[in-house]
Copies of this chain bind each other. A is one copy, B any other.
Amino acid sequence: MLNFTVGPVTLDKEVLKIGSKQMPYFRNAEFSTMTLESEELLKRSMNSPLDSKVVFLTASGTAAMEATVLNLFDKEDKLLVVNGGVFGSRFSEICQVHSLNYKEIKLNFFEDLTHGDLIPYDKKGFTGLLINLHETSTGVLYDINLVKEFCEKNHLLLLIDAISSYLADPFDMEGSNANAVIISSQKALGLPPGMSYVVLDKKSQDRVREISFKSVYFNFNKYLSDGERGQTPYTPAVSNLLQLNKKLKYVDKKSVTKIIQETRELAVHFRNEIIKLPFEIPTKSPSNALTALRPLGSISPESVVQSLKMNSDIYVMPNGGELSSKIFRVGHLGAITIENNQYLLDEIKKNLKSIS
């Protein structure tokens, strides 16, 4: 089986080894020390301000998005949501369900966010901006510098979902003036799904303390307070935290730049080859994490996805909803290689004969 989805991705041997071992008891000093080390490594990997803190949340990315919005904003806030696909819509859904005051910058699928998109919202009393750094459903990587400037000028709290971009595209939390950054275990970190990590700068931590958000499990105050001593208020996914520590040490040793460079090489190699076949890449600014592909002529995305699965035991990602008949996606995360890419390309070629 070859896995070109973007989560769960193909895990590396070190991570699998931990999955095959007994877990230690976690309410003790050893585990606390490890978690505090992971916090520092995680911050270093995205250049978070030194006084940032990490919330280790046992739940998937959507939970982290919802919890972070509700810990940082309340009904007094006026929020801007950049919505260019499924995950932008999810931020909108969260705001809508919780009756927060928000406006959507609705982008067409595959479209970049431009200066022009932001102008109508300049000096209009907004207090926060929510954006997916990489809109996973379309593969678009937004221009973070544009967002940074706009947020600085308008004094907005900037919440970034970097779930599918972290360790795939260059990102600098301090450099982009982000106040809160959400990542998850199952994307470029290459861990099993089940945990999310939210990095909060000083300003966000202050907001968490000010906001009277009513929740037990999602109350970040408790996570920040127990986090001081490297613990979580409720039983975390212990094996996931062990795997995280191992992976972050690897990332630190190898360097984030090199890891991103390798992912970029995988993406560029694949893109250079796939456009020689009857496919086009609908995004102008693709993330290194994945490539969205529109089949040309009469080939349907579903038929490519299905033929790869049935004939070649290769998994690529179909899209849902409106996009299901337009595109599918090929991921570049996890333990995959240029040789795997080449095999995928060869198999696509073979399968095209029967489906086109």
B-binding residues in A (CB < 8 A): 1, 3, 5, 7-8, 10-11, 16-28, 58-63, 66-67, 90, 93-94, 97-99, 184, 186, 192-195, 214-217, 233-240, 309, 315, 318
Q: Are B215 and A66 in contact (CB under 8 A)?
A: yes
Question: Which chain B residues lie closer than 8 Å to A16 at the CB level?
Answer: 19-22
Known contacts A17-B20, A23-B11; A58 and B59 CB within 8 A of each other: yes
Q: Are A237 and B194 in contact (CB under 8 A)?
A: yes
Q: Are B315 and A240 in contact (CB under 8 A)?
A: no
Known contacts A20-B20, A216-B94; A193 and B62 CB within 8 A of each other: no
Partner of A8 from B5, B23, B67, B192 at Cβ < 8 Å = B23
Question: Which chain B residues lie closer than 8 Å to A22 at the CB level?
Answer: 1, 3, 10-11, 16
Partner of A216 from B27, B93, B240 at Cβ < 8 Å = B93
Cα separation A259 to B23 with both chains bound (whole Å): 22
- Which residue of chain B is the closest to A19 with respect to CB atoms? B19
Partner of A238 from B8, B195, B237, B315 at Cβ < 8 Å = B8
- Which residue of chain B is the closest to A184 with respect to CB atoms? B235
Q: Are A237 and B193 in contact (CB under 8 A)?
A: yes
Question: Which chain B residues lie closer than 8 Å to A90 at the CB level?
Answer: 216
Question: Which chain B residues lie closer than 8 Å to A58 at the CB level?
Answer: 58-60, 63, 193-194
Q: Are A234 and B1 in contact (CB under 8 A)?
A: no
Question: Which chain B residues lie closer than 8 Å to A192 at the CB level?
Answer: 23, 237-240
Q: Are A239 and B61 in contact (CB under 8 A)?
A: no
Q: Are B66 and A217 in contact (CB under 8 A)?
A: yes
- Which residue of chain B is the closest to A99 with respect to CB atoms? B214
Cα separation A94 to B219 with both chains bound (whole Å): 12
Q: A11-B23, A62-B233 are in contact. List 19 more A-B contacts (CB 8 A).
A: A1-B24, A3-B22, A5-B25, A8-B235, A8-B239, A11-B22, A18-B19, A24-B315, A28-B309, A58-B59, A58-B63, A60-B237, A61-B234, A62-B234, A97-B214, A99-B214, A186-B235, A192-B239, A193-B238
